Amino acid sequence: MSLIHRLRAIRLRSSALIGALLIVASIVGVNLVIRANNVGDPVLLAAEFLPAGTTVTDELIVDARLVGRTAESLDRADVIGRVLATDVGAGELITGREFDETLESDTIVAIPLGVAPADSIAVGSTVSLWDVDSDGIRPPVTIAGRATLLDVAEGSLGSEARVTVLLSALDVDRVLGALGSTSLIVATSGQAP
What is the pLDDT, as a whole number, of residue 19? 78
Determine if the pTM surpasses 0.85: no
Q: CB–CB of 75/56 below 8 Å?
A: no
Q: Is 141 helix (H, G, I), strand (E, B) or coil?
A: strand
Confidence of residue 188 (pLDDT cuts 50, 70, 90): confident
Q: What is the pLDDT of residue 103?
A: 47
Contact criterion met (CB below 8 Å) for 127 and 121: yes
When pLDDT is averaged across residues 151-179 and rounded to a whole number, the result is 79
Here the contacts of 143-146 (C-beta below 8 Å, separation 24 or greater) are 143/171, 143/174, 143/175, 143/177, 143/178, 143/185, 144/168, 144/171, 144/174, 144/175, 145/171
Beta strand segments in 19-171, E:
41-46, 61-66, 107-113, 126-132, 141-153, 161-167
175 within 8 A of 106, measured Cβ to Cβ: no
> Residue 67 corresponds to which amino acid?
V
| pLDDT computed for residue 100 by the predictor | 63
Cα separations (Å) of 38 from 6, 15, 43, 73, 160? Answer: 48, 35, 12, 16, 50
Instruction: Give pLDDT, residue 158.
Output: 57
Tens-place pLDDT, residues 87-100: 788 888 888 777 76
Torsion angle (degrees, nearest 10) of CA 90, 93, 94, 97:
-120
Q: pLDDT tens digits for 105-120? A: 678 888 888 887 888 8
- pLDDT tens digits for range 27-57: 988 888 877 776 777 888 889 988 877 889 9
pLDDT of the residue at 152: 86
H or E stretch including 188?
strand 184-188
